[in-house]
């Protein structure tokens, strides 16, 4: 197990003034612009990206999963072979739609983000920007600080392969009026079947570690 700790200066992300879904829209638009000339696609490809049903459908096309208490789609993109889906616990997704209104403890829950990229695209230098952006495309919060205190790696089995999982623990504060919420995140890259896949599972609350592990163990890749 490889471990890296950051207890003095925690990693922080602070983007004021916009909702998390608006930030994602900007991010997704950037991906579309970078790949537009290469794929010959219109930005209309992301018009329905925030449709919950569409997001769930894209996620389920990529992987079978179970989120404790049920889930709601938050974001789904299918752009020229690049697929990104974000789903999460229903109460959590609802809360993050308007994070500036949160004054109490963030609801316990889990967010799952899945990205699938064609391997043949990875070998093309002109696609590096889009691929790099997709690899860093994650859950983005507004009016908050997401602080990571500890980061380490642990080998786990995913979709029949033993792979290193990056595990991070920390806390999330959505607003000054809301107390900090414990946070745990798993991140893993997996390449097989002509695709590279990125999984990011983020849990919040006292049971974050157990619920993130439960979601991870439920994952079954759709080849």
For the chain, give the number of residues: 223
Per-residue confidence (pLDDT) for residue 223, from 0 to 100: 67
Task: Give residue 137's pLDDT band: very low, low, confident or very high (50, 70, 90).
Answer: very low
Structure-token match 């049971």, residue found: 207
pLDDT digits (tens, 9 = 90+) for 14-34: 334 444 444 444 444 444 444
pLDDT digits (tens, 9 = 90+) for 65-122: 999 989 999 888 887 778 888 999 988 887 766 555 555 667 889 999 998 988 876 6
Structure-model confidence comparison of residues 214 and 122, the more confident one: 214
Mean confidence (pLDDT) of the chain: 74
Max mean pLDDT range (9-13, 120-124, 150-154): 150-154
Is the pLDDT at 141 greater than 60? The verdict is: no
CA distance 52 to 93: 10
Structure-token match 């752009």, residue found: 79
The radius of gyration of the chain from alpha carbons, rounded to an integer in Å, stands at: 17
Determine which of 53-57, 100-104, 174-178, 197-201 has the lowest per-residue pLDDT on average: 100-104
Task: Give residue 182's pLDDT band: very low, low, confident or very high (50, 70, 90).
Answer: very high
CB atoms within 10 A of CB 34: 19
Residues 99 and 19 sit within 8 Å (Cβ to Cβ): yes
CB atoms within 10 A of CB 217: 12
Per-residue confidence (pLDDT) for residue 49, from 0 to 100: 77
Per-residue confidence (pLDDT) for residue 3, from 0 to 100: 52
């Amino acid at each position: 197990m490889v471990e890296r700790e950051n207890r003095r200066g925690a990693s922080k992300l602070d983007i004021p003034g916009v909702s998390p879904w608006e930030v994602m829209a900007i991010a997704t638009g950037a991906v579309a612009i970078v790949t537009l000339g290469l794929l010959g696609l219109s930005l209309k490809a992301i018009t329905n990206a925030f449709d919950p049903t569409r997001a769930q459908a894209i996620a389920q096309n990529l992987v079978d999963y179970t989120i404790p208490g049920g889930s709601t789609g938050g974001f789904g993109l299918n752009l020229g072979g690049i697929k990104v889906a974000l789903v999460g616990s229903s109460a959590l997704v609802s809360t993050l739609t308007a994070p500036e209104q949160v004054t109490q403890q963030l609801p316990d829950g889990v967010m799952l983000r899945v990205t699938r990229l064609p391997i043949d695209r990875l070998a093309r230098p002109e696609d590096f920007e889009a691929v790099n952006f997709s690899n860093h495309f994650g859950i983005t919060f507004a009016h908050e600080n997401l602080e990571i205190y500890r980061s380490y790696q642990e080998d786990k089995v995913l979709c029949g392969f033993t792979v290193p999982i990056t595990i991070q623990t920390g806390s999330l504060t959505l607003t000054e009026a809301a107390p900090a919420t414990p946070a745990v995140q798993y991140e893993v890259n997996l390449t097989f079947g002509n695709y590279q896949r990125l999984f990011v599972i983020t849990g919040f609350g006292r049971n974050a570690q157990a619920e993130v592990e439960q979601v991870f163990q439920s994952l079954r890749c759709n080849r």
